[in-house]
Amino acid sequence: MQAQSPTVRSIMKPDVEFEGTLGAFRQTVRKFGILGLWRGQAANLLKVAPHAGIMFLIFEQIRLFYVWNNGYIVSPFRDIPRPGVNQYLTPEEVKELYRQHWAESIRKSRGE
């Protein structure tokens, strides 16, 4: 349907005339059969597959960073739970747990 714009018509002279989406669908099926609806899918997959892979990779790395930043895992690069931290605690509860742990370790180091 993009080929029907006045600019494209005057320069490229396309050989199609559509009267909306349904008309495009009918003409494609009539000219190329039902498989004509999937023409160009191989090229599209070559474009979409790397995009999806990169998108999922970035999402996972950002998720790991935030989970690590909130204190649930040991590293922003590995999904290993931090020992002694209940994974069901809220970020505020995890921070309070660390405050208590640090206060206790300071008292022990002072010999109190």
Which of 50-54, 69-73, 99-103 is predicted least confidently? Answer: 99-103
The DSSP string of the chain is -GGGSHHHHHHH--S---SSHHHHHHHHHHHH-GGGGGTTHHHHHHHHHHHHHHHHHHHHHHHHHHHHHTTSEEETTEEEEPTT--TTS-HHHHHHHHHHHHHHHHHHHHT-
Is the model's pLDDT at 1 over the cut of 60?
no
Domain boundaries, the chain: 2-38, 41-110
Whole-number pLDDT of residue 51: 95
Whole-number pLDDT of residue 85: 85
Q: Please, which pLDDT band fits residue 105 given cuts at 50, 70 and 90?
A: confident
pTM above 0.75, yes or no: no
pLDDT tens-digit series, residues 62-91: 999 999 998 899 999 988 998 888 888 898
